A = this chain, B = another copy of it.
Amino acid sequence: MKKQVTAAMIVIGDEILSGRTKDLNIGHLADIMTAIGIDLKEVRIVADDEPAIVAAVNALRSAYTYVFTTGGIGPTHDDITADAISRAFGVECRYDERAYAMLEAFYAKRDIEFTEARKRMARMPLGAEHIENPVSLAPGFRIENVHVMAGVPAIFQAMLDKVVPTLTTGAKLLSESVHCPHGEGVIGDLLAAIQKEHPDTIIGSYPKYRDGSFWTELVVRTRDPQRLAAVKQAIELMVAGLEGSRGM
C-alpha cells in the first residue's frame, strides 16, 4: 500500500489579508491535491513581509512532504518571495542564467526594454529549478520540496499543471457523501457511535444552514474501498432510521 504524502500551502500577499482580493488558489490546490492522493494538511496566509514568509516556509517545509507557495514573484518592489525563500534556505538569491536569457530574448524580440524591474523576475535561490509558466513566460521555481508559483490564478493553475506530474502521489483517499436531512444535533450521538466502531475511517459532519433550517452533509473518508462501502451503508441506515425526527 502506498504511504501517506502530505502538503502545505503558503499564500503570500497583503491583498488577501486586506480583503481587497479574494483568494481562489487555496480551493484549487485543495481540489487537485485530493484528486491525486496528497493530503493538504495546513495553509498559511502571510503578509508581504520577509520574516513572516521565512518563518512559514521553514516551519512547513520540515513538517510536510511538499510545500506550495503562491504570490510575490512578479517584477515590482513588493514581490519579495524569491528573496524570502533564499533566506529561508540560507542560499544566495541571484539572477538565474537561463531565466535571465529567456526573458532578455523575449523582450528583445518585442523591442521592449529589459528593465531592472523585469530582470527581477529572473531572480531565484541558487540551486532552484524552473517551473514553466506557459501563460506569461516568467518562471516559478522549486527548491528542494518547496514549489514557488504565481498568485494570479490563471498562471498559478498553469504552473501547478506542470508541477503535478513531478510529484510522488499517495494512496488516494476515497470518499463518499451521504445527504442527511437532519441537523447535527439529531445525529450526533448515533454518528459518534458509528465513528467509534470504525476508528480507521474518518467520518466528517458538515452542518449546512439554509432558509431557517439545518441539514448535514456526512462524508466518509478512507483509503480502503471495502471499509468505505461498509461505513457508508451504516450511515445510510442511520439516516433512514431517523425519518420523522425533528430538531437541530
A76/B184 in contact, CB under 8 A? yes
Known contacts A26-B45, A192-B77, A209-B152; is A20 also within 8 Å of B219 by CB?
A: yes
Query: Number of residues in A with C-beta < 8 Å to the partner?
Result: 76
Q: A111 CA to B112 CA in the complex, in Å?
A: 75
Q: Interface-forming stretch among A29-37, A83-91, A93-101, A163-171? A: A29-37
CB contacts (< 8 Å) of A16 on chain B: these are 26, 30, 43
| CB-based contact B15/A117 at 8 Å | no
Given contacts A17-B43, A40-B18, A208-B152, contact A110 B189 (CB under 8 A): no
Residues of B within 8 A of A79 (CB): 184, 205
Contacts of A115 in B (CB 8 A): 185, 188-189
Q: In this assembly, does A207 line the interface, its C-beta being within 8 Å of a C-beta of chain B?
A: yes
Across the interface, name the chain B residue whose C-beta is closest to A205: B76
The answer to whether B110 touches A246 (Cβ under 8 A) is yes
Q: List 18 A-B contacts (CB under 8 A).
A: A14-B221, A15-B219, A16-B30, A17-B39, A17-B40, A18-B30, A18-B221, A19-B34, A19-B40, A26-B45, A42-B45, A43-B45, A76-B184, A77-B196, A110-B247, A115-B189, A117-B188, A152-B207
